[in-house]
Amino acid sequence: MKVFALYNIKGGVGKTTAAVNLSWLSAREAVRTLIWDLDPQGAATFTFRIKPKVQGGGREVMRDADAFHSSIKGTDFDYLDLLPADFSYRNLDRILDRGGEPEERLARVLEPLVSEYDRIFLDCPANISLLSENVFSAADVLLVPTIPTVLSLRTLARLMKHLKTRDSRPPAVLPFFSMVDRRKRLHREVCDFAAEAGLGFLSKEIPYSSVIEQMGVRRNPVGAYAHSSAPSRACAELWAEIGSRLSDGATDVGVSSGPTGKSVRALLDAAERSASVRSRSNARPGVTRVAEKWRNMTGHEPDEPREVEFKLRMRSEGDFDELARLATGTAHWPERTVIQENHFFDTRDADLREAGYALRLRIEERRRLLTAKGPATRSEGGLTDRPEVEVEVEPAEAERILSGDLAPLDLLAARESSRLIDLLSSWAGGQPLAHVGSFKNVRRHVGPVQLVGRGGSVEVSFEMDRTELPGDRVDFEVEVEIPEAHATVCRAALEDLLARAGIPWETAPSKAQRFFEALAGRDPRAV
């Protein structure tokens, strides 16, 4: 029996996502698998459609073998059982502290399962505590999801240092990058540096993806509802790599099998240097002019790398269908449709709009986003760069903003610290912001798909928007966001795609600009 623990001192790094999907993949091999949800929040339990409750709570599970076994539930999947979470697990530290050898109690509880299960997965809560010390003693393998950011790397370095101080034999430590958004320069640089320097990270990454976010809605592992998706393939490849890494060292691998504290520190130093250089330098290929404009306007360097995008006008929804058909090679492509209500706020004299800023509340079925945007700069061919700050708000907060009971700029400033928000406040000049209007947008997501251009291939996702503006005006456009390093290749591929579809290349102004033009009674197509 081998025990895998999904653990990180830091929360919100994708532990439950990995625990659910890796245990499911283990069971798919017809291997008897148990997942124990040790987190009182019970996210893994919820995902498997099981009530987060055990008879007698954590106290009975830890001291009574019969209570332990009777609490195990079958899932909807063969060879996969679950020991549910319970809210009493929040007191597990106190429960474990009663009795001799408090750091070994979890291991003793699991010992009788050797004849019943071949693999056990522990979905662990964040923090470092007596429970985590028990996990270190019970686990053969510590799988550590790590977001490629400075704060997440700092906690990993702290963990590696702590494990070196323990007297008992440490588990194998296999960290991997999770919630990776390769559109972000820091994410790319950290992952690539770790791979090139051979720092002991698993090479496979779990991407940040809406497909993974749907786990909470569909209440299933990703592979059960999106088997051919990129996140599903990433999980399968990660699981295969874990098996390969362990087979090379059998069960006698220790902390040395993963990165050392020193190597993580080197990675952290590289990430901090990279962030520092970006905050001081404007030498970013393709957007130097944007950085220069931002510096002249504000007196500061840009806060951080910003995404660039192609915004291209379409003539009708038929253009959407033709583009999707050519891009995917089929008339039946995977897509997701989102209906968005976009509400804008400004001063009575439209100071924000006149300065090129926009403050927007976007309402979708399952989320509410409050966004501030600075002046946009667009280069030839429709490559757009615009500073942006975005936060997710609760439905009740969104209702208060729309009713005028909550100032959107105050809420944004309370959630994020940014020069962009400071500048927005300065342009508002202390005046109250009013709701000035809204428009509806129907967005179809297609992709990711691989496009081939004159400089190579590039993976893109299309956002195909049908925008209903004031004055009964309906616009159609396609947006493609791309890291700046791939912009040239992307443009060549898009030019070829549009040429094959018989669609003219025409850059679309921002929706905010067209919205305000339509409010003023002007034809947004003429801007």
DSSP string covering 504-515? ---BPPPHHHHH
Same domain, yes or no, for 302 and 222? no
Question: How crowded is residue 176: how many other Cβ atoms within 10 Å of its Cβ?
Answer: 23
* Alpha-carbon span 470 to 69, nearest angstrom: 62
Residues 444, 464: contact at Cβ < 8 Å? yes
Give the CA distances from residue 501 to residues 144, 310, 321, 323, 489, in Å, rounded to whole numbers and listed in that order. 46, 17, 10, 6, 19
Identify the weakest region by mean pLDDT among 128-142, 246-260, 410-424. Answer: 246-260
Same domain, yes or no, for 201 and 309? no
Would 132 be classed as within a structural domain?
yes
Same domain, yes or no, for 267 and 304? no
Token representation of residue 347: 């001063």
Can the peptide bond before residue 448 be classed as cis, meaning omega within 30 degrees of 0?
Answer: yes
Compute the average pLDDT of residues 252-281: 53
The more confidently predicted of residues 290 and 15 is 15
Would 454 be classed as within a structural domain?
yes
Would 345 be classed as within a structural domain?
yes
Same domain, yes or no, for 214 and 361? no
Token representation of residue 300: 């500061």
Residues 458, 450: contact at Cβ < 8 Å? yes
**DSSP notation for 393-439:** E-HHHHHHHHHTSS-HHHHHHHH---HHHHHHHHHHTTPPPEEEEEE
Same domain, yes or no, for 269 and 362? no
Same domain, yes or no, for 82 and 188? yes
CATH number of residue 267's parent domain: 3.40.50.300
Contacts of 310 (CB under 8 A, 6+ apart): 381, 382, 383, 384, 478, 479, 480, 482, 490, 491, 494
Most confident of 57-61, 183-187, 326-330, 422-426: 57-61
Q: Given this model, what pLDDT does residue 199 score?
A: 67
* Alpha-carbon span 141 to 139, nearest angstrom: 5
Determine how β-strand 388-393 pairs with β-strand 368-373: antiparallel
Q: Given this model, what pLDDT does residue 453 score?
A: 73
Same domain, yes or no, for 327 and 246? no
The residue whose two tokens read 């319970």 is: 86
Q: Given this model, what pLDDT does residue 254 score?
A: 41
Residues 428, 347: contact at Cβ < 8 Å? yes
* Alpha-carbon span 296 to 128, nearest angstrom: 46
Residue (of 333, 340, 320) closest to 479 by Cα position: 320
Compute the average pLDDT of residues 91-99: 85
Same domain, yes or no, for 346 and 262? no
Q: Given this model, what pLDDT does residue 456 score?
A: 79
Same domain, yes or no, for 189 and 310? no
Domain-ending residue, one of 218, 248, 274: 274
Would 282 be classed as within a structural domain?
no
SS3 letters across 2-38? EEEEECCCCCCCCHHHHHHHHHHHHHHCCCCEEEEEC
CATH number of residue 379's parent domain: 2.40.320.10
Token representation of residue 410: 């105050």
Same domain, yes or no, for 374 and 401? yes
Q: Given this model, what pLDDT does residue 196 score?
A: 72
pLDDT digit string (tens) for 358-370? 899 999 888 899 9
- Whether 291 has a pLDDT exceeding 50, the answer reads no
Residues 145, 206: contact at Cβ < 8 Å? yes
Token representation of residue 445: 């997501």
* Alpha-carbon span 117 to 74, nearest angstrom: 13
Would 412 be classed as within a structural domain?
yes
- Whether 308 has a pLDDT exceeding 80, the answer reads no
Sign (positive or negative) of CA dihedral 468, 470, 475, 477 = negative
Domain-ending residue, one of 274, 305, 333: 274
Give the CA distances from residue 523 to residues 359, 448, 483, 526, 527, in Å, rounded to whole numbers and listed in that order. 22, 33, 32, 6, 7
Token representation of residue 344: 């804008």
* Alpha-carbon span 120 to 142, nearest angstrom: 12
Would 241 be classed as within a structural domain?
yes
**DSSP notation for 463-508:** EEEEEEEGGGEEEEEEEEEE-GGGHHHHHHHHHHHHHHHT----BP
- Whether 301 has a pLDDT exceeding 60, the answer reads no
pLDDT digit string (tens) for 165-211? 777 777 889 999 999 988 777 888 888 877 776 667 899 999 988 88
Compute the average pLDDT of residues 98-122: 89
Question: How crowded is residue 421: how many other Cβ atoms within 10 Å of its Cβ?
Answer: 19
The more confidently predicted of residues 185 and 283 is 185
Domain-ending residue, one of 274, 300, 332: 274
Identify the weakest region by mean pLDDT among 95-109, 211-225, 266-280, 421-435. Answer: 266-280
What rounded mean pLDDT belongs to the chain? 82
Would 426 be classed as within a structural domain?
yes
Residue (of 275, 303, 276) closest to 290 by Cα position: 303
The more confidently predicted of residues 441 and 384 is 441
Q: Given this model, what pLDDT does residue 280 score?
A: 38
Same domain, yes or no, for 266 and 305? no
Compute the average pLDDT of residues 476-503: 87
Give the CA distances from residue 365 to residues 76, 107, 369, 395, 463, in Å, rounded to whole numbers and listed in that order. 28, 44, 11, 10, 17
Same domain, yes or no, for 246 and 112? yes
* Alpha-carbon span 239 to 235, nearest angstrom: 6
Would 279 be classed as within a structural domain?
no
Number of domains in the chain: 2
Report residue 269's pLDDT band, with 50, 70 and 90 as the boundaries. Answer: low
* Alpha-carbon span 153 to 160, nearest angstrom: 11
Most confident of 73-82, 185-194, 319-328: 73-82
Report residue 50's pLDDT band, with 50, 70 and 90 as the boundaries. Answer: very high
Query: Where in the sequence is the domain holding 435, given as residue range(s)?
Result: 292-526
Residues 17, 163: contact at Cβ < 8 Å? no
Burial of 181 (0-12, 13-18, 19+ CB in 10 A): middle
Between CA 473 and CA 177, with CA 385 as vertex, the angle to 5 degrees is 115
Residues 371, 389: contact at Cβ < 8 Å? yes
* Alpha-carbon span 382 to 364, nearest angstrom: 27
